[in-house]
Amino acid sequence: MPIVRTVSRAVSQLLQSSGCGCGISIVPVRFIGVSPRQVASDAAFHSVSFSESDHPRVLITGGLGQLGVGLAKLLRKRFGKNNVILSDIRKPADNVFYSGPFIYADILDYKNLREIVVNNRITWLFHYSALLSAVGEANVPLARAVNITGLHNVLDIAAEHNLRLFVPSTIGAFGPTSPRDPTPDLCIQRPRTIYGVSKVHAELMGEYYHYRYGLDFRCLRYPGIISADSQPGGGTTDYAVQIFHDAMKTGKFQCNLKPDTRLPMMYIDDCLRATLEVMEAPAEALSMRTYNISAMSFTPEELAQEVQKHVPELQVTYNVDKVRQAIADSWPMNFDDRNARRDWGWKHDYDLPELVTTMFSFLGSDSRIAQAN
């Protein structure tokens, strides 16, 4: 199919130039034979343990983005290094390449993606390949191809081979007409970005495939995710990462949202653990296929006050970006995640004080940082 090959080349070129970790293409360049490993004795999860014979064979698409590498590390600790294959269309760093199986894979190449699933006897698939909001708005046809056509390929392969499929959704799947405080699992969704539209499409298609074909589809709507090992990329919620870097480097931070802009947030460790736990949950425990998950909700002003407990001299000013502010004003202020907590026992570990302390501990000490209690 010439169109698919053309789009696939375009995806590769865009991702190589933009640094967005959201692709995949094919041909196993390095794969070590799968053999079960003993689960680390210090692994701590809120869900049930697997025996060695139950280990899934896992494929992660778009694995070089913000979440994929961390997810692979968590899953390898849980199931054994060689049971988890990371994939992307970009070349991985050496530490990622040598940490476990990695393959080059393209979700727009249906045949070869299917070969990967068959040849490696995949049973679980985490589908992280997507063009995110900013990149997607800059190239809507490409975002439509990757986020929607790529999803359809994954859905068909997962249904054909009886996979357990996880596709993440997002706070951006809601729009200005959605209830914002709190936002329930089921409500009006009218997002105004191609990324948000494609995620609503993924939620509905996954649910359809579940009821029509029996696909074991599972989805979580992520809030803003905060991580110490990823640099801010100019997104709407990235101020919550930038403030830590600026506090340590200059002692001055300029926020591009209003001080009272409340958004749901989550530390990356909680996000990755929630992803694993919903995949481990018994199918009969799930009353729906897409869940909100939440940990905390705060404003820039509240975050700044908590950061100033560690860096008292931090100076915070506000220079509101109208575009980002409009996006933030259309997003939920609080996620209602009672169904996740009831159905499969979701509970978060990090509130705002723990988040701030953990971020500073990962980013390192500085002479301006006061000793925390």
Tens of pLDDT, residue by residue, the chain (373 residues): 444 444 444 544 444 333 333 333 333 333 333 333 333 333 344 444 444 457 999 999 999 988 999 999 999 999 999 999 999 999 999 999 999 999 999 999 999 999 999 999 999 999 999 988 777 888 999 999 999 999 999 999 999 999 999 999 999 999 999 999 999 999 999 998 899 999 999 999 999 999 999 999 999 999 999 998 776 666 788 899 999 999 999 999 999 999 999 999 999 999 999 999 999 999 999 999 999 999 999 999 999 999 999 999 999 999 998 888 988 998 999 999 999 999 999 999 999 999 999 999 998 744 343 333 2
Q: Which two tokens stand for residue 265?
A: 């947030």
DSSP 8-state secondary structure symbol assigned to residue 83:
G
In this predicted model, what pLDDT tens digit does every residue of 320-354 receive, in sequence order? 988 889 889 989 999 999 999 999 999 999 999 99
Q: Quick check: is 195 catalytic?
A: yes
* Domain contains 292: yes
* Domain contains 211: yes
Q: What is the CATH number of the domain that holds 347?
A: 3.40.50.720
| Distance of alpha carbon 214 from alpha carbon 282, whole angstroms | 15
* Domain contains 117: no
- The helix (H) or strand (E) run that includes residue 160 is helix 150-160
What is the span of the domain harbouring residue 332?
Answer: 130-371
For residue 91, what are the CA distances in angstroms to 29, 103, 104, 124, 309?
11, 9, 8, 23, 40
Largest CA distance in the chain: 61
* Domain contains 277: yes
Measured in residues, the chain has a length of 373
DSSP 8-state secondary structure symbol assigned to residue 335:
B
Pair 333, 266: CB distance under 8 Å? no
Q: What secondary structure does DSSP assign to 206-251, as a single string?
A: HHHHHHHH--EEEEEEE-EEE-TTS---S-TTTHHHHHHHHHHHTS
pLDDT given for residue 234 in this prediction? 61
Crossing angle of helices 268-280 and 68-79, in 10° steps, is: 50
Count of structural domains, the chain = 1
Q: Is the peptide bond before 264 cis (omega within 30 degrees of 0)?
A: no
* Domain contains 248: yes
SS3 177: coil
* Domain contains 63: no
Single pTM value for the model: 0.82
Residues paired with residue 118 on neighbouring β-strands, in sequence order: none
179: left (phi over 0), alpha (psi -120 to 50) or beta: beta
* Domain contains 231: yes
Residues paired with residue 25 on neighbouring β-strands, in sequence order: 106
The one catalytic residue among 104, 110, 128, 195:
195
pLDDT given for residue 34 in this prediction? 35
* Domain contains 55: no
